Amino acid sequence: MVWTNASISVKASGAAPNRWDLVALPLVIGLLVLIAIGGHEMSAPLESVEAAPVSLSPWDLPDYALRSTLRMLAAMAASLLFTFTYATLAAKSRRAEMVLIPVLDVLQSVPVLGYISFTVAFFLSLFPGSVLGAECAAVFAIFTSQAWNMAFSFYQSLRSVPRDLDEAAASFRFSGWQRFWKLEAPYAMPGLVWNMMMSMSGGWFFVVASEAITVGDRSITLPGVGAYLAEAIAQKDLGAVGWAVLAMLVVILAYDQLLFRPLVAWADKFRFEQTGGREAPESWLLDLFQRTGFFRALFAPVGAAVDRLAWLRLSLPPGMARPVGAAGSRMLDRAWYAVLAAAGLYAGWTMVSFIASGAGWGDVAGVVLLGAVTLLRVVLLIAVATLVWVPVGVLIGLRPRLAEKVQPVAQFLAAFPANLLFPVAVVGIMRFDLSPDLWLSPLMILGTQWYILFNVVAGAAAFPNDLKEAAANFRIRGWQWWRDVMLPGVFPYYVTGAITASGGSWNASIVAEAVSWGDSQVTAHGLGSYISRATAAGDYPRIVLGIAVMSLFVILFNRLFWRPLYGYAERRLRLA
């Protein structure tokens, strides 16, 4: 058993700078300067943003792109912290899992507009008179479009660690802390990196909603690519829309080369392998910094400190780690169930009371019917995306060189906001008198289908090379190869991608079922358009009603369909 190491190991000659440092130094200084400029602009007075409307001049786009990118990177940092704590607790504690996973189902089903509706006032009150409050609200909204699929991916990886690695950790008597940092986190890293890419791209899908905030009579527009795009759509300026697409493409290519390609190459060394000989991904930036002398020496103490921290033998206190026995465990379970039931009843009663203050039973019945319509759209779109992207994802994941070429293209397509197709959808539907209920549906899956592709690519890339060689030796080909080898191997990853794609499609229905181009608007019947109208009107009881019904549909669908598939993957398709 070996962990493949894709990185190029080059010994630096001491701490003395070399020619590679001369190339790396401008990159580091340039990134620090950009972060400092963007951070300074984000702490300006709120009046400066309200007094300066978004300009459609392309010369302002570099500054807008910097602001949007910093918001997304801040949201990514928060998403990583959330993933390592929330998903780990859910995977490690059975009682915590009973609460955290259903809550995660609810969180991913709550639309971004739902978070914005209730968080803008809170963040503005934290930083009165400063644009930092609005920035925090925007970052939080982007966080809600990034964190959930990363948490699901990490949770799935922790639950499917190969049994022989479990046995090796037990034989070395690893503590829980050592096991997590030396076995489980490295094993989960390749899949997590691909989901980070998907999350970063998914953040672009909702960047318009996070930067151009309108709740009731309160409107706040933050400088950024999303706000620029919203203004271009409002003014029907196709040239400005083109400039926004170009800015997005440049930014995606930049962070692909400077962030994600190095991460993919670095994470490949954690792939679980029992044989070698696999072609490994490469990154010019990672190779550059591995050849430097000064920067390697500068960060060597940090790496050593992190490594020593990971090897600490931390464990629970003896009293907490002592088994309570079967009878004690049953009593704890009953007490835990009672606490959950009480909390659920209280939350449900509070929500029902709030909804009843502004909506009646007729509203509830109508919203449930609209939810069923959106559910039908989601199921059909996920089925179509599965048939298309699972074979493509396997093809890409098994070929690292192809993955390097496809990676930035897939990120750009995943980041392509549905808003840019609003002109085509509105003009086409109105010109040819088409049904909005049918022709607006593809906009729901436009950004979320990539969750399936990215997760399948991660699963195929992590598929052990020895199993591929065994299949080749036994001459397993064609449909039998798909049925008995590859599909079982990528199935746990596919389920993770399908769950997040399903939740993301519900979220995307907010912008996909009610689209506009200037003064022209086309609306489809569905729960998303209902929530969109309620949010624009500032009707909080109906906002809560729509979000509650959407969450209920997502939870029931996950409980009755996706979770049984998760259990099947853990029992039958886990690597031995």
pLDDT recorded at residue 372? 93
423 near 516, Cβ under 8 Å? Answer: no
Choose between 362 and 324: higher pLDDT. Answer: 362
Q: What is the pLDDT of residues 9-19, one digit of tens each?
A: 444 445 677 88
User: What kind and span of H or E run contains 97?
Assistant: helix 94-109
Number of Cα atoms under 13 Å in the Cβ half of residue 263: 17
231 near 243, Cβ under 8 Å? Answer: no
Among 72-81, 473-482, 535-544, the least confident range: 535-544
Interacting residues of 58 by C-beta distance below 8 A, sequence separation 6+: 240, 243
528 near 514, Cβ under 8 Å? Answer: yes
* Torsion-angle region of 400 (φ positive above 0: left; ψ -120 to 50: alpha; else: beta): alpha
Question: Per-residue b/e over 330-357, b at no fewer than 16 CB within 10 Å?
Answer: eeeeeeeeeeeeeeeeeeeeeeeeebee
Arithmetic mean of pLDDT, 219-236 = 82
429 in a domain, yes or no?
yes
Phi (first) and psi of residue 39, to 5 degrees: -65, -40
Arithmetic mean of pLDDT, 26-44 = 81
Rounded distance between C-alpha atoms, residue 389 and residue 117, angstroms: 34
64 near 224, Cβ under 8 Å? Answer: yes
Mean pLDDT of the chain: 80
127, two tokens: 């930083």
pLDDT recorded at residue 565? 84
Residue 85 has pLDDT above 90, yes or no: yes
Choose between 476 and 420: higher pLDDT. Answer: 476
Widest CA span in the chain: 75
281, two tokens: 């991904």
Q: Is 4 exposed, middle or buried (0-12, 13-18, 19+ CB in 10 A)?
A: middle
246 in a domain, yes or no?
yes
Could you give the residue ranges of the DSSP H alpha helices within 434-539?
A: 436-439, 442-445, 449-461, 465-473, 478-481, 487-512, 527-537
pLDDT recorded at residue 316? 52
Q: What percent of the chain has pLDDT over 70?
A: 85
pLDDT recorded at residue 13? 44
Rounded distance between C-alpha atoms, residue 376 and residue 77, angstroms: 35
439 in a domain, yes or no?
yes
Rounded distance between C-alpha atoms, residue 401 and residue 282, angstroms: 9
Of the candidates 113, 180, 148, 72, the residue with the CA atom closest to the CA atom of residue 514: 113
Amino acid at 62: P
540 near 525, Cβ under 8 Å? Answer: no
**Residue 369 — pLDDT band, cuts 50, 70, 90?**
very high
Choose between 279 and 127: higher pLDDT. Answer: 127
462 in a domain, yes or no?
yes
pLDDT recorded at residue 112? 64
Per-state percent for the chain, helix, strand, coil, to nearest 5: 80, 5, 20
pLDDT recorded at residue 11? 45
Q: What is the pLDDT of residues 303-355, one digit of tens each?
A: 888 888 888 877 654 444 444 445 556 777 678 778 877 887 888 888 888 88
187 near 272, Cβ under 8 Å? Answer: yes
The range of the structural domain enclosing residue 418 comes to 16-270+280-294+346-572
Inter-CA distances, 284 with 96, 149, 323, 571, Å: 42, 28, 51, 40
Q: What is the pLDDT of residues 86-144, one digit of tens each?
A: 999 988 887 788 788 878 877 776 666 566 666 777 787 787 777 888 888 888 888 98
Residue 52 has pLDDT above 70, yes or no: no
Residue 55 DSSP one-character state: P
2 in a domain, yes or no?
no
302 in a domain, yes or no?
no
Residue 386 has pLDDT above 70, yes or no: yes
Residue 43 has pLDDT above 60, yes or no: yes
120 in a domain, yes or no?
yes
319, two tokens: 């009293």
Range among 23-27, 39-43, 128-132, 569-573 with highest mean pLDDT value: 23-27
The CATH number covering residue 497 comes to 1.10.3720.10
365 near 428, Cβ under 8 Å? Answer: no
Residue 51 has pLDDT above 60, yes or no: no
335 in a domain, yes or no?
no
pLDDT recorded at residue 118? 66
pLDDT recorded at residue 392? 92
Residue 462 has pLDDT above 70, yes or no: yes
Number of domains within the chain: 1
Choose between 254 and 43: higher pLDDT. Answer: 254
Range among 83-92, 205-214, 448-457, 523-532 with highest mean pLDDT value: 83-92
195 near 149, Cβ under 8 Å? Answer: yes
pTM: predicted TM-score of the whole model, two decimal places: 0.76
pLDDT recorded at residue 315? 62
Residue 208 has pLDDT above 80, yes or no: no
pLDDT recorded at residue 321? 43
**Residue 567 — pLDDT band, cuts 50, 70, 90?**
confident
